[in-house]
Amino acid sequence: MALSQSALSELQEVFRSGEGTDFIRECVRVAMQELIDAEATSAIGAGRYERTESRVTERNGSRPRLLTTHAGDIELAVPKLRAGSFFPSILSPRRRIDQALYAVVMEAYVHGVSTRNVDDLVTALGGTGISKSE
């Protein structure tokens, strides 16, 4: 699989900036995004802006997905489809523990628990904490 010209230019820009960690993170992001786009193209039956007889549906924008890696957090764009659903096989759905933790945080917010106490609870449960805006 060859990288698109825009993906290569993004990598060159990060490489020129000289940030080693950012370069690795950007390489991972570009590779993951290309894999997601290739899988979406396969599921749709046509590439972006391509007209074919085998097309099943059309793209309808994308939704952001935050992926946590050893290189840092990576923001990916998961394509949405007009008809049907699509979720890339290289990403895993949210774990139940994450969903349960989010439910606990929301419940604590509704009951007026301070953000500091909620942050301490999340940290004690093995999370990285939450910000006041979350």
Half-sphere exposure of 6 (CA within 13 A, CB side): 2
The separation between CA 109 and the C-alpha centre of its own chain, rounded to angstroms, equals 26
Q: Where are the domains of the chain?
A: 5-81, 94-134
pLDDT tens-place values along the chain, 134 residues long = 566 777 767 767 766 776 666 777 888 888 889 999 999 988 888 888 888 888 888 888 899 988 877 777 889 999 998 888 888 888 877 665 566 777 777 888 788 888 788 888 777 766 666 665 55
Residue 69 identity: T
pTM: 0.60
How many Cβ atoms from other residues are within 10 Å of residue 30's Cβ?
Answer: 19
pLDDT for 131 equals: 63
